[in-house]
Amino acid sequence: MAKLIVNQFFLERGIRWWQTETNWDNDFHNHFYERMYHLGSVNRASWYTIVDELASWSALRPVPKDEIIRNGFSVIGNIDALIRQLMKNYDLSNTDFSQVEWDEILPLFQTANSIKNSSTPMFGSKLCHFILPKLFPVYDSFVGERVGTNDYRIYWEMCREGWKKCNGKNDLVDVLQREIGHSVFRLYPWATKISELCCHGGGVSSNQDES
């Protein structure tokens, strides 16, 4: 099975890819994470804003926005309950995905992905990343090309193991923090973002290539 190497070389390559090959936020979504945090809990009021953000991340198409809103209303209570269940076991402000097990967060991912009922995990991963960015790395078409699968569990476990095994985590945080270049949101999801960037930087490798 493929694995992800998380180190400074692949992080810096991922940063360059982000800056030159995409039109995504130059602050690596720093302000976005702060905006989402200040929305508070997932409820009918915040759902409209969340859907707007999902639309800006190209997560809705081809499903109409009104349909996503309606479908979301039907499961918002379940999503809130699942988050509260996680909060009984973890301080979610200080917990990253290396500290949880897939089976613990699977119900939340399944519920989120059911809103669009897509055959790919793009919508579910983005919505879960919006809600709990430290626990869910983003899966999109770029990631799919890198990892060669649309099985989100495989991608999630690959990123998680890569982060757990990497050395010098604080050094990697310093590298990305310098690129963000200004005051960083105190709950920035370093583990998932650095793993994602290493994936885009070419860190996906077969087991035989481990170094």
Give the range of the structural domain holding residue 32, as residue numbers without chain letter. Answer: 3-203
What pLDDT is stored for residue 206 in this prediction?
67
Q: How far apart are CA 209 and CA 211, in angstroms?
A: 6
In a domain, 133, yes or no: yes
What pLDDT is stored for residue 144 in this prediction?
86
Please, what is the end-to-end C-alpha distance for the chain in angstroms? 15
Q: Find out whether 125 and 144 touch, Cβ atoms under 8 Å.
A: no
In a domain, 210, yes or no: no
Q: Calculate the average pLDDT of the chain.
A: 94
Query: Using one digit for the tens of pLDDT, what is the confidence trace for 196-209?
Result: 999 999 999 865 44
In a domain, 61, yes or no: yes
Question: Residues near 139 by Cβ (< 8 Å), separated by ≥ 6?
Answer: 120, 121, 122, 125, 126, 150, 152, 155
- Is residue 210 scored above 80 in pLDDT? no
Q: What is the pTM of this model?
A: 0.94
Among 113, 118, 131, residue whose Cα is nearest residue 43: 131
- Is residue 161 scored above 50 in pLDDT? yes
In a domain, 209, yes or no: no
In a domain, 211, yes or no: no
The tally of domains found in the chain comes to 1
Among 35, 131, 33, residue whose Cα is nearest residue 83: 131
Percent of the chain clearing pLDDT 90 (strictly above): 87
Query: Using one digit for the tens of pLDDT, what is the confidence trace for 123-152?
Result: 999 999 999 999 999 998 888 888 888 899
In a domain, 208, yes or no: no
